[in-house]
């Protein structure tokens, strides 16, 4: 059920965060001129106003901004009010999704030395039978990403223990189920004090129960290969409605569209100020400053704030699936910004070399934009963990920025960007402490300048972004 919130125009006022009085608009000029104006005027200080608003919304909404919740709706209406006031044509794209609430997650190592092992039910897991199931463990070969990692009859009637990495949780579960496993436990690939949260991405992917473990517990259980455990995982399912926020500039060429997006929703475990309030704030602040300094003309610029990313990229997938072939062809490029202010940050740019035509050039432009600030970027694979994935799958040129999640910073990266080697890029990833104190201000400032400069250049010549500089 959707909650009715305060009218759009007054929500920012209620939060004490009304937009600044717009400056007089500058006459549009060449892409480089607009890019430099936006890079100067689009600041971390401006983005922090939005992050403060998102924190206040989470505080007033049960501590989170999860898709389908009051916190998400309030966040979306806050952004909508600002975008409409800036002159954008704003629409809400509703969709339903299967919401899950975990009611049981228990794992016990039985026999001598019996002990409870912390476990997290992955979203869209199948439920264990009432009261749970008891079975011996069987360690998967490799990372469980191929049928050969579950060779022979070793896994029949057992619980597969699998390392995290390389492929999706759904793929690991499917291979384990095909080998006869009755459940799967996936242990983390980096240290951490609590089991990770994750999703099978699709309600139909839960063919067997699947839980997540810490790296330390996974290694301990692997050393006890064949030991018997008792597992109980249960989730209640209900259909919920949520919506994407789509804001489009007026007066641009409808056959040349530049898109920039970020997911607005958080996980239930916390307010999501870095993941992904930071990307949302970068996109929103860029949109507001663009409206001040660009009167129209050039390409259409379309900003998207996705919902239900944390449930498997559902908002962006819904959007891309609804595009006709002709509509897909009008999108020159999609730029994605997810976690751009991790406190122990990296400066990752998605590697478009294996993406659709034009993606490698987008990568080069983003790397160059960081270099213009005296900063060195590192390439990271596109993968399927954020909202660029549906666009890449649809053959649309894409790129984006990322400052790291639960992965550990290397010694070489610490020498390059500072911070602490051997520690996570974001120690509060998917946790209650992902609040305003979890923002890396240096990374936020650098990445916001890149977003603004890139969008500014693309307004007049979007095709230049997908052509090597």
Q: What is the pTM of this model?
A: 0.81
Average pLDDT of the chain, as a whole number: 92
Domains of the chain: 8-88+249-465 (3.40.630.10), 99-238 (3.50.30.30)
Point out the least confidently predicted range of 74-78, 275-279, 457-461. Answer: 457-461
Residue 31's pLDDT band, with cuts at 50, 70 and 90, is low
Determine the pLDDT at residue 469. 78
Q: What pLDDT is stored for residue 156 in this prediction?
A: 97
At residue 109, the pLDDT reads 95
pLDDT at 113 over 90: no
Mean pLDDT of 189-216: 90
Please tell me the predicted confidence (pLDDT) of residue 458: 95
Between the CA of residue 384 and those of 79, 187, 268, 464, what are the distances in Å? 26, 19, 21, 26
Flag the least confident range among 72-76, 220-224, 340-344. Answer: 220-224
**pLDDT above 80 (res 30):** no
pLDDT of residue 201: 81
pLDDT, tens digit, for every residue of 393-438?
A: 999 999 999 999 999 999 999 999 999 999 999 999 999 999 999 9
- The region, left, alpha or beta by phi > 0 then psi within -120 to 50, assigned to residue 132 is left
- Residue 7 CA to residue 393 CA, distance in Å, equals 37
The pLDDT of residue 3 is above 60: no
Percent of the chain whose pLDDT exceeds 70: 93
Q: Is 309 annotated as catalytic?
A: yes
pLDDT in tens, 347-370: 999 999 989 999 999 999 999 999
At 16, the pLDDT band (50, 70, 90 cuts) reads: very low
Q: Which of 73, 248, 309, 364 is catalytic?
A: 309
Q: Is the pLDDT of residue 2 over 80?
A: no
Q: pLDDT tens across 364-394, in order?
A: 999 999 999 999 999 999 999 999 999 999 9
């Amino acid at each position: 059920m959707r909650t009715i919130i305060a009218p759009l125009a007054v929500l920012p006022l209620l939060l004490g965060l009304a937009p600044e009085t717009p400056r007089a608009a500058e006459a549009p000029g060449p892409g480089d001129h607009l890019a430099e104006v936006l890079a100067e005027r689009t600041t971390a200080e401006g983005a922090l106003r939005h992050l403060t608003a998102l924190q206040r919304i989470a505080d007033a909404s049960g501590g989170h901004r999860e898709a389908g919740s009051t916190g998400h709706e309030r966040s979306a209406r806050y952004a909508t009010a600002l975008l409409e006031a800036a002159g954008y044509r704003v629409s809400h794209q509703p969709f339903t999704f299967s919401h899950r609430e975990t009611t049981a997650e228990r794992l016990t190592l039985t026999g001598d030395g019996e002990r409870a092992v912390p476990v997290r039910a992955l979203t869209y897991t199948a439920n264990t039978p009432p009261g749970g199931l008891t079975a011996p463990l069987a360690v998967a070969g490799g990372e469980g990403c191929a049928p050969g990692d579950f060779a022979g009859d070793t896994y029949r009637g057992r619980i597969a223990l699998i390392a995290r990495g390389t492929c999706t949780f759904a793929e690991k579960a499917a291979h384990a189920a095909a080998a006869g496993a009755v459940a799967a436990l996936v242990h983390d690939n980096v240290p951490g004090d609590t089991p990770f949260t994750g999703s099978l991405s699709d309600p139909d992917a839960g063919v067997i129960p699947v839980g997540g473990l810490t790296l330390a517990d996974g290694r301990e259980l692997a050393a006890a290969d064949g030991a018997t455990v008792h597992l109980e995982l249960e989730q209640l399912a209900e259909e919920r409605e949520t919506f994407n926020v789509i804001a489009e500039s007026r007066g641009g060429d409808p056959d040349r569209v530049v898109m920039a997006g970020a997911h607005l929703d958080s996980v239930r475990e916390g307010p999501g100020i870095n993941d992904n309030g930071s990307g949302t704030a970068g996109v929103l602040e860029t949109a507001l400053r663009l409206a001040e300094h660009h009167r129209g003309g050039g390409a259409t610029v379309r900003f998207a704030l996705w919902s239900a990313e944390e449930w498997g990229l559902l908002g962006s997938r819904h959007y891309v699936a609804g595009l006709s072939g002709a509509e897909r062809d009008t999108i020159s490029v999609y730029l994605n910004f997810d976690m751009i202010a991790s406190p122990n940050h990296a400066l990752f740019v998605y590697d478009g070399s294996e993406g659709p035509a034009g993606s490698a050039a987008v990568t080069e432009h983003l790397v160059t934009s960081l270099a213009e600030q005296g900063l060195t970027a590192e390439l990271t694979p596109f993968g399927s963990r954020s909202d660029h994935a549906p666009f890449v799958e649809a053959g649309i040129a894409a790129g984006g920025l990322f400052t790291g999640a639960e992965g550990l910073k290397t010694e070489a990266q610490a020498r390059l960007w500072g911070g602490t080697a051997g520690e996570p890029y974001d120690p509060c990833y998917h946790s209650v402490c992902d609040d305003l104190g979890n923002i890396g201000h240096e990374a936020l400032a650098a990445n916001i300048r890149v977003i603004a400069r890139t969008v500014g250049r693309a307004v007049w010549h979007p095709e230049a972004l997908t052509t090597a500089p």
